[in-house]
Amino acid sequence: MFSLVKDPDPILKQKAEHWDFTQHVNAAVVEREMLDTMNSFNGIGLAANQVGLLRRVFVMKLQDGRELGCFNPWIMFGDNDKIDDEEGCLSFPNLWLKVARHNKITASYLDNTGKPCIIELEGLDARCFQHELDHLDGITFTEYVSNLKLQMARKKQRKLNG
């Protein structure tokens, strides 16, 4: 299991590098350890830079209970129906922010064997995929809100964290 990186660690703002299956041969091990880490915190998604790895991989738990490891993921299509909804992040404990995201996406990724996959996601699953993909680009959900909204949310976060 990995250690969880928390805000304000600068690795959360760094862009992850391409996963190379010829050089990074432990894809299945990394995926399993990331899933174990995510599940130990009761999360639904976890990006590699949240555990100190600057590689383009994240894991997520779909609403139907399936677990995905997504290597070199990207979004092929996002609908015009953006939904403003509350998000949290394991690296930002007890911080909750409303973020607008596509409600439906079509995404592509490689599984832990390097096999190409295409998946259509909607609702919370689509939101999670977009949130984790942002992490790989060095973007955190805090960047989607105004400074005032972020300050108000951080005040609540400090109370909740004691």
Q: Is the dihedral of CA 34, 40, 43, 44 positive or negative?
A: positive
In angstroms, how far apart are the furthest CA atoms of the chain? 47
133 to each of 17, 20, 45, 161, how far by Cα in Å? 12, 17, 10, 27
Known active-site residue 86 = no
Q: Which one is catalytic: 33, 87, 132, 143?
A: 132
- Please answer whether residues 68 and 128 qualify as being in contact, where contact means their C-beta atoms are separated by less than 8 angstroms: no
Q: In sequence order, which residues have a C-beta less than 8 Å from that of residue 161 and are 6 or more positions away?
A: 93, 94
**Catalytic machinery residues:** 132
